[in-house]
Structure 1
Amino acid sequence: MLPPVRKKAWQVILSGGLLLATALLVAGCGSTSLGRASLEGLRLAVARDPDVTPTAEQVAASPYAQIEVVGPEGGAVLLLGNVDDGRQAFYSGDRKIVYLRDGLLSGSYGLAQDAADIRIEGDNPFARLPQLQQPQQVARRYDWMPSYRYGVPVIGQLRRVGSARVTILGVERDLLHFRETLRGPGVDATNEYWADPASGFIWKSRQLLAPGITLEILQLKPYQAEGAG
């Protein structure tokens, strides 16, 4: 079980909402952005009471994809700002950013320590999670800021643990549980994933961002590409 979400340092606040909305409306070309939505609509979506865990009704009322993120300093609901070549950028009201690619953490911006990039090299067993029966190796490279540590090699050993029932916004889901041990220079950590048994979609996870820093990520309202589903 994940610990309760703490709404402190990463609070989604109204004061940052207008700035965030403006930034998203002028998102660069080559990405799928929220520019077609109204500025007022995005401002209201960001202006959530930071001390209240979101309800299913609140999440459904917003047109934007949403995740809940908990880090060492607290937690918040983040809204999808844009999708650039499959990389999803989720924004907090105070303009911190968490990047995901296919449910995997691929970077961050605005935290005390950021990963400018996290990438898998070579074979990617996450593309076939439902079929995974034997342990698989995952090779990654991490770029960390502000320490300017680029291309740090980290090797993961991913294995299927079993099944687990996870409740998200009052809905119980029967998911596959995977655990990945990570080893590399300055890294001795464990990632956890809870994925859909049919599609492999990662609903819940704990993932290493930087040495000693893990983010817990929960999909509240998954992103659907235009024309999908």
Structure 2
Amino acid sequence: MAGVGLMVLLLTGCGTLQRGVDMARGAVFGPKGVRPAPEEVAASPYAQLLIEDDAVSAVMLLGNDDDGRTAWFTDQHVVFLCEGDLVCGTHGLSARLDDMRIVGPNPFVDLRAIGQAPFTVDRRYDWHDGYRYGVQVTGTVRRVGEEEVEILERKRTLVRYEEQLSGGVDGKNIYWIDPATGQLRKSRQLVAPGHYAEIEILKPYRRRVQ
């Protein structure tokens, strides 16, 4: 129960908590590599994603949308996703990210718009470990090509984009995009130096625009 209380505290700080405890109870943990059954995902009314890192493999449910910053969580772990589905903060994973933000144009709203030419992104990272705040990182995003990806036992032809990170930290993010909708379906994103989170969108969240 202490874990649930902490989640409530964190999520309330980012906006009104919606269906928090009920959805946390519905989250599923399992060994890495184990995928939920398609019928289980379809039976739930909530948007869902599967996240895996060095320590955690879990189906997370949407808990809150605070003006485009969405919170996904279980009863013990939480990851915040920025608009464009970028990981911008974590709690309870193998590595902690306090914040990540894009400075200037954000191509991740729809990666299809960058075309074939590389696109440069200016990022800022905050990490509590080592008290590293405002770390400047440059990302160079490029379209690699189409790739077949299996999600929920269904093979999909998605477009792969890679983002080479340099500056305050080196690394590489990977994104798989639905070419028809521009929706992110899978990604591998840097959480902290040397630590990545792999994310599959099981049931996409369609934000209501006022």
The normalised TM-score by structure 2 is 0.85
2:126 maps to a residue whose letter is D
Q: Using the TM superposition, give the Cα deviation of residue 210 of structure 1 relative to its aligned residue in structure 2, in angstroms.
A: 0.7
| Aligned residue runs from structure 1 range 73-84, under 5 A | 73-84=55-66
- Residue 189 of structure 2 aligns with which residue? 207
2:181 maps to a residue whose letter is S
| Aligned residue runs from structure 1 range 90-129, under 5 A | 90-94=72-76, 96-101=77-82, 102-129=84-111
1:45 to 26, 32, 44: 26
Is 1:20 matched with 2:1?
no
- Name the SS for the 2:191 alignment partner: strand
Q: Is contact 2:24–2:75 with CA below 8 Å preserved after alignment? A: no
Q: Distance in 2 between matches of 1:118 and 1:209?
A: 9
- Residue 166 of structure 1 aligns with which residue? 149
- Residue 87 of structure 1 aligns with which residue? 69
| Aligned residue runs from structure 1 range 1-16, under 5 A | none
Q: Is contact 1:166–1:172 with CA below 8 Å preserved after alignment? A: yes
Q: Distance in 2 between matches of 1:72 and 1:26?
A: 23
Q: Distance in 1 between matches of 2:209 and 2:117?
A: 35
Q: Distance in 2 between matches of 1:22 and 1:150?
A: 23
Is 1:220 matched with 2:196?
no
The 3 A distance-change label for structure 1 pair 128 and 149 is same
Q: Is contact 2:98–2:127 with CA below 8 Å preserved after alignment? A: yes
Runs of 5+ consecutive residues of structure 2 not aligned to the other structure: none
- Residue 6 of structure 1 aligns with which residue? none
- Residue 8 of structure 1 aligns with which residue? none
The normalised TM-score by structure 1 is 0.79
- Where do 4+ consecutive residues of structure 1 move more than 6 Å? none
Q: Is contact 1:119–1:140 with CA below 8 Å preserved after alignment? A: yes
1:28 maps to a residue whose letter is T
Q: Distance in 2 between matches of 1:49 and 1:104?
A: 22
Q: Distance in 2 between matches of 1:49 and 1:27?
A: 20
Deviations 1:28-79, CA, capped at 9 Å, x for gaps: 38836423x8x6x536523x36355311111112222111111112421111
- Once structures 1 and 2 are overlaid, which stretch shifts more, 125-134 or 152-161? 125-134
- Residue 12 of structure 1 aligns with which residue? none
Deviations 1:130-162, CA, capped at 9 Å, x for gaps: 132100101100000132211000001100000
Aligned residues: 206
1:151 to 118, 134, 153: 134
Runs of 5+ consecutive residues of structure 1 not aligned to the other structure: 1-15
Q: Is contact 1:130–1:199 with CA below 8 Å preserved after alignment? A: no
